[in-house]
Structure 1
Amino acid sequence: MADKPSVLFVCVHNAGRSQMAAGWLRHLAGDAVEVRSAGSAPADRINPVAVEAMREVGVDITAEQPKKLEYATAQASDVVITMGCGDVCPVFPGKRYEDWKLDDPAGQGIAAVRGIRDEIRDRVQALVNDLVRGRA
């Protein structure tokens, strides 16, 4: 792993879970980690309920856009975290992989998305502790 680890969050649409996770990682780790996100079948825009849920906790993800998962992006990442993308996520030897089982916020109301947001925050905080604080 380089001096600055890189993390790629992947979900199907890159519009909810992976965008919230990327927002949390930027918020909690600052410049200590390179943050990427992508989707196997990206949506046209980020889920507005996910945007609102993150805004409630002071994390702005409005500038982000869903992106297609590219081979080179996955290959260049130190840690790949999947969230329901199944077999479409590429696997590279020597990479750290985690599959986070999380409900999909698509079609959910704000109360349900808040719960998903908070679970993602807890997982990202543990990741930050491992990647950043564990290297100090």
Structure 2
Amino acid sequence: MSIRLERPDQPEVLALIDELDAYQKPLYPPECHYGVDVSALSAPEVAFAVARGQEGVALGCGAVWCGPEFGELKRVFVKPECRGKGAARAMLSFLEEQARARGCAVVMLETGIHQHEAIALYQRAGYDFCPPFGDYREDPHSVFMRKPL
């Protein structure tokens, strides 16, 4: 598996994002969806990464938005058949390195309360629970986490 920075508007990557949305949307009310669209993922302050298998097939993706006070993970997703094999952890490490290289001292994230596997992954990677940050407000469907880099 390889992970590198790529454009998010590739058809194969858009299919990954659609798969993520199809998984998340039934779990939460519409007002509790905080995913960003492809145009936001293409912004200069965003590092967007794609994990690819040996045949070059996209297996996962993720982004880190790097602001002046913190970095924020967005759209981190690994295909279900690739989970438990280190792909998500590798993607997370790659995105943390991108944030560090762009001067971020801390990475934050918002995820849903029903995404137990993701929460466990973030905890194993050293993320701690925190209050809402940035423009987020308290939301009973959300979990907020942070990790100093």
TM value normalised by structure 1: 0.32
More strand by share: 2
